[in-house]
Structure 1
Amino acid sequence: MNEIASITNTNLTETQLYSRIDEISLLSNLLKSTEFNSSLTILLTGIRGVGKTALIKKIKNKFDNEYLVVDIDLSRTNAYQQKNLTRGSIIKIILL
């Protein structure tokens, strides 16, 4: 039972993330690419319960002192609730 963690815990172990080592490595490398004056926006999508929030919290915790990592839950927006979430509405949410 100790291996089960709440998504509010930002200090999850690799076991608690169900071996998401490849995903963590990919996101880490993408963040590190910003050192070369490139701007980065990542849209992480998937069905409920697959661990998106836990993965983002792990990345945020890992790079908190080096990068600004922002987590926006689009499922809480009016556009999503009204089943009208488009690329334009996502851009509007992010920029406003």
Structure 2
Amino acid sequence: MKYVLLSADSDTSVYLVPDEMANNLKKYCIDFCNKWLYQSSYAKKYHIGGSVCYNEKDFIEYVNTWIFPDEPSVLIETIGWINSKADIPEKYRECKWFNF
């Protein structure tokens, strides 16, 4: 398990996720927001009008349910709004980060 940073144009949160997901974070995030949200019948709750509405918590629910149910990701802490790498606590600066 590794730490990653996730945000959705809001406060950034630190999650502990499976190594496979951390190592390929961008791929899993893009698959979620560009494929699964539009192709899965289970994603209907995210459809509002002609678009989708979701955040990093929804992504974590998706990976915990459909991708890594035996290795659930967990929220470690919310570190707040990040404008630059300098705003990230030192212990998380080398972590991968994805903003939805």
- Normalization by structure 2: what TM-score? 0.31
Higher relative contact order (CA 8 A, sep 6+): 2
- Normalization by structure 1: what TM-score? 0.32
Higher Cα Rg, which structure? 1
